[in-house]
């Protein structure tokens, strides 16, 4: 067989790993021929290509970017180019085209596929917002880069007692912001999916300083916006490809926080550093699996589909599914991240009214509870324990836990989980109650739980 590969749209760590994998599987295992179109769809439309053999893909597994080059094509140009693309596919004797790209590329792939061209797509984006796959390669690398940057920024922020507002990529979705913010222990995260309340954000950061902490890190996805009308905000405009051109959340938010808090605040824009450089091991493996499965799909004649990861398994899905809706951060993920992570037991103390602590014998909000043993001293509380992971979602299963009232050597009263050394202090409970009432009172400044 003969197949053509191309990389289109914004680049992403792992593109070269896919190209290499396609060549290895096709050329070595199947005895196929592979060509690579230069600079994305442009290469197909202009018949600009190179032969991809084993030598051509030697040493590229760990290399960022794409050896084929990439470009963005205006949708109307591609629509006009369908016949030209078909002619080139025929002239070159291609049995399949494997485009590797994000939302725009997959839309283009669908257009060509609907017009009868043999297409097998491979999804990519650091934003991780393609709904038909649990993960896209490039995301892990971007989160790793952003997390390392946040770790570094913490030390300089602390030296200068500053608020640093760190802008990460994420046009429509806050996956990179959420994951890097959680990984680095940021003090607030704002995402495009949910307009932020500037008063609440100011209060959170202010509380942190009031509690004696000397710095704060706010992670902002580039597409995050305030609740309309709550602060002056320039939303920017659109570029020639119809993509939003943002006016800079980090700059605007740091100016606002500095004015409101009287603390020095600085914007830090991580930008394309998140897309460049070597892919993480996870992304290399995912990219390699995608390439391998794309070639297998070509051999099965399974056109008009793209590779996807579901849980830990590979699947072929229609690109229509991939472009129909964006995979946004589900509210429960965001809410969970807002809540204080109870590091000592690895359980989330639930917010949103699910946490309470009440004297023995009082029915809890989950309905009738088992009676306490006679004479037991205890409280009933409801802790949400993450138990089931489905794709990116974590299902929280409420369970009831009896807490014993205990006193330490200093005669401070607290609560203890059965069989556990950890004692919940009054403050833990206040914090949880403060969050559950939405008051934001008593929030632990180490993890303000946005
Ligand atoms: O789609 C991936 C992405 O990295 C977005 O997060 C970001 O807004 C965009 O690409 C930047 O694209 P460009 O390289 O065209 O500026």
Residue-by-residue DSSP string for 396-426: EEEEEEEEEEEE-TT--EEEE-TT---EE-H
Residue 356 has pLDDT above 80, yes or no: no
Angle between helices 82-91 and 103-114 (to 10 degrees): 70
Q: Is the CB of 127 under 6 A from ligand 1?
A: yes
Q: What is the CATH number of domain 2-138+279-323?
A: 3.40.50.450
Q: Read off the pLDDT band of 446 (50, 70, 90).
A: very low
Q: How many residues does the chain have?
A: 450
CB 138 within 8 A of CB 124: yes
- Greater confidence, 428 or 305? 305
| Bridge partners for 358 per DSSP | 380
Q: Is the CB of 123 under 6 A from ligand 1?
A: no
Nearest CA to ligand 1 atom 9: 10
Distance CA 172, CA 193 (A): 7
Which alpha helices (DSSP H) does 14-74 contain, by range?
15-23, 30, 41-45
Distance CA 208, CA 444 (A): 8
Question: One fold for both 2-138+279-323 and 139-275?
Answer: yes
- With 0-12 CB in 10 A as exposed, 13-18 as middle and 19+ as buried, what is 302? middle
**Which atom of ligand 1 lies closest to the CA of 169?**
6
**In the prediction, which pLDDT does 139 show?**
98
pLDDT tens for 11-32 read: 999 999 999 999 999 999 999 9
CB 98 within 8 A of CB 22: yes
- Greater confidence, 220 or 235? 220
Q: Is the CB of 138 under 6 A from ligand 1?
A: no
- Comparing 255-259, 352-356, 359-363, the range with the smallest average pLDDT is 352-356
The full DSSP string for 267-320 is EEE-GGGGTSSPPPHHHHHHHHHHHHHHHHHHHHT--SEEEEEETTEEEEE-HH
Q: Collapsing DSSP states into helix, strand and coil, what is residue 388?
A: strand
Q: Which residues contact 375 (CB under 8 A, 6 or more apart)?
A: none
Residue 340: in which H helix or E strand, if any? Answer: none
**In the prediction, which pLDDT does 77 show?**
76
Half-sphere exposure of 27 (CA within 13 A, CB side): 17
**Which atom of ligand 1 lies closest to the CA of 243?**
8
**Which atom of ligand 1 lies closest to the CA of 239?**
15
Q: What is the CATH number of domain 139-275?
A: 3.40.50.460
Distance CA 145, CA 179 (A): 11
**In the prediction, which pLDDT does 338 show?**
67
The pLDDT > 90 percentage for the chain reads 65
Mutation test residue for ligand 1: of 129, 169, 170, the one with most atoms within 8 Å of CB:
169
Q: Which residues contact 110 (CB under 8 A, 6 or more apart)?
A: 304, 319, 320, 323
Q: Is the CB of 124 under 6 A from ligand 1?
A: no
Q: Is the CB of 294 under 6 A from ligand 1?
A: no
Report how far ligand 1's centroid is from the alpha carbon of 107 (Å): 17
**In the prediction, which pLDDT does 112 show?**
94
| Bridge partners for 166 per DSSP | 219, 268
Nearest CA to ligand 1 atom 12: 10
Report how far ligand 1's centroid is from the alpha carbon of 169 (Å): 7
Catalytic residues: 127
| Bridge partners for 389 per DSSP | 394
Q: Is the CB of 125 under 6 A from ligand 1?
A: yes
**In the prediction, which pLDDT does 344 show?**
29
Unique residue bearing structure tokens 């806050």: 174
**Distance of alpha carbon 250 from its chain centroid, rounded?**
18
Q: Backbone phi, then psi, for 352, in 5-degree steps?
A: 60, 30
Half-sphere exposure of 412 (CA within 13 A, CB side): 8
Taking residues 314-321, report their average pLDDT: 87
**Which atom of ligand 1 lies closest to the CA of 223?**
8
Q: Which residues contact 398 (CB under 8 A, 6 or more apart)?
A: 350, 354, 366, 382, 383, 384, 385
- Comparing 206-210, 282-286, 343-347, the range with the smallest average pLDDT is 343-347
Taking residues 336-355, report their average pLDDT: 36
Residue 415 has pLDDT above 90, yes or no: no
Report how far ligand 1's centroid is from the alpha carbon of 12 (Å): 10
Report how far ligand 1's centroid is from the alpha carbon of 243 (Å): 9
pLDDT tens for 35-57 read: 999 999 999 999 999 999 999 99
Q: How many CB atoms lie within 10 A of CB 4?
A: 22
Report how far ligand 1's centroid is from the alpha carbon of 10 (Å): 6
Report how far ligand 1's centroid is from the alpha carbon of 171 (Å): 7
**In the prediction, which pLDDT does 244 show?**
79
Report how far ligand 1's centroid is from the alpha carbon of 290 (Å): 22
Structure token digits, residue 196: 């932020």
Distance CA 126, CA 130 (A): 10
Residue 432 has pLDDT above 60, yes or no: no
Q: Read off the pLDDT band of 333 (50, 70, 90).
A: confident
Pairing of strands 163-168, 265-269: parallel
Q: Is the CB of 126 under 6 A from ligand 1?
A: yes
Q: Is the CB of 13 under 6 A from ligand 1?
A: no
**Which atom of ligand 1 lies closest to the CA of 170?**
6
Mutation test residue for ligand 1: of 7, 9, 10, 238, the one with most atoms within 8 Å of CB:
10
**In the prediction, which pLDDT does 245 show?**
85
Enumerate the domain spans of the chain: 2-138+279-323, 139-275, 345-432
Among 299, 377, 313, 309, smallest CA distance to 131 is for 309
Taking residues 163-170, report their average pLDDT: 98
Q: Read off the pLDDT band of 138 (50, 70, 90).
A: very high
CB 174 within 8 A of CB 316: no
Cα 245-250-251 angle, rounded to 5 deg: 85
CB 10 within 8 A of CB 102: yes
Q: Is the CB of 192 under 6 A from ligand 1?
A: no
Report how far ligand 1's centroid is from the alpha carbon of 288 (Å): 23
Which alpha helices (DSSP H) does 165-212 contain, by range?
175-184, 198-210
Q: Collapsing DSSP states into helix, strand and coil, what is residue 90?
A: helix
Residue 413 has pLDDT above 60, yes or no: no
Q: Read off the pLDDT band of 239 (50, 70, 90).
A: confident
Structure token digits, residue 197: 């309340």
Residue 357 has pLDDT above 60, yes or no: no
Measure the N-to-C terminal CA separation of the chain; round to a whole number of Å.
Answer: 52
**In the prediction, which pLDDT does 339 show?**
58
Q: Is the CB of 102 under 6 A from ligand 1?
A: yes
Nearest CA to ligand 1 atom 15: 10
Question: Mean pLDDT for the chain?
Answer: 80
Q: Is the CB of 249 under 6 A from ligand 1?
A: no
């Amino acid at each position: 067989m003969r197949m053509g590969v191309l990389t289109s749209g914004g680049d992403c760590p792992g593109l070269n790993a896919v190209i290499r994998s396609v060549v290895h599987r096709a050329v070595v295992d199947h005895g196929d021929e592979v060509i690579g179109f230069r600079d994305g769809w442009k290469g197909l439309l202009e018949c600009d290509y190179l032969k991809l053999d084993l030598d051509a893909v030697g040493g590229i597994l760990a290399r960022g970017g794409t050896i084929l080059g990439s470009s963005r094509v205006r949708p109307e140009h591609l629509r006009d180019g369908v016949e030209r693309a078909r002619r080139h596919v025929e002239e070159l004797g291609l049995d399949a085209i494997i485009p590797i790209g994000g939302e725009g590329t997959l839309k283009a792939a669908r257009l060509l596929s609907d017009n009868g061209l043999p297409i097998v797509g491979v999804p990519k984006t650091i934003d991780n917002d393609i709904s038909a796959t649990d993960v896209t390669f490039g995301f892990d690398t971007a989160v790793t880069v952003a997390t390392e940057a946040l770790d570094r920024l913490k030390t300089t922020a602390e030296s200068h007692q500053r608020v640093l507002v760190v802008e990460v990529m994420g046009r429509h979705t806050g996956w990179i912001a959420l994951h890097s913010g959680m990984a680095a222990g940021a003090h607030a995260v704002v995402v495009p999916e949910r307009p932020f309340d500037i008063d609440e954000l100011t209060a959170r950061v202010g509380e942190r300083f009031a509690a004696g902490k000397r710095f704060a890190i706010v992670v902002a996805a580039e597409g995050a916006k305030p609740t309309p009308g709550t602060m002056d905000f320039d939303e920017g405009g659109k570029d020639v490809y119809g993509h939003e051109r943002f006016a800079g959340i980090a700059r605007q938010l740091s100016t606002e926080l500095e004015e409101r808090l009287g603390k020095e605040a600085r914007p830090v824009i991580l930008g394309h550093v998140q897309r460049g450089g070597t892919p993480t091991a996870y992304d290399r493996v995912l990219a390699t699996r995608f390439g391998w499965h794309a070639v297998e799909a070509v051999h099965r004649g399974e056109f008009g589909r793209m590779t996807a990861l579901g849980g830990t398994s590979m699947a072929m899905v229609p690109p229509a599914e991939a472009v129909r809706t964006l995979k946004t951060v589900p509210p429960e993920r965001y809410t969970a991240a807002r809540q204080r992570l109870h590091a000592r037991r690895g359980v989330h103390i639930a917010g949103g009214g699910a946490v309470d602590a009440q004297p023995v014998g009082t029915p809890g909000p989950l309905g009738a509870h088992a009676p306490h043993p006679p004479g037991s001293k205890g409280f009933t509380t409801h802790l949400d324990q993450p138990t089931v992971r489905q794709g990116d979602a974590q299902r929280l299963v409420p369970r009831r836990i009896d807490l014993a009232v205990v006193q330490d050597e200093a005669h401070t009263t607290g609560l203890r989980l059965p069989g556990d050394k950890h004692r919940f202090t009054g403050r833990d409970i206040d914090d949880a109650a403060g969050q559950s009432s939405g008051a934001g009172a008593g929030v632990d400044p180490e993890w303000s739980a946005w």
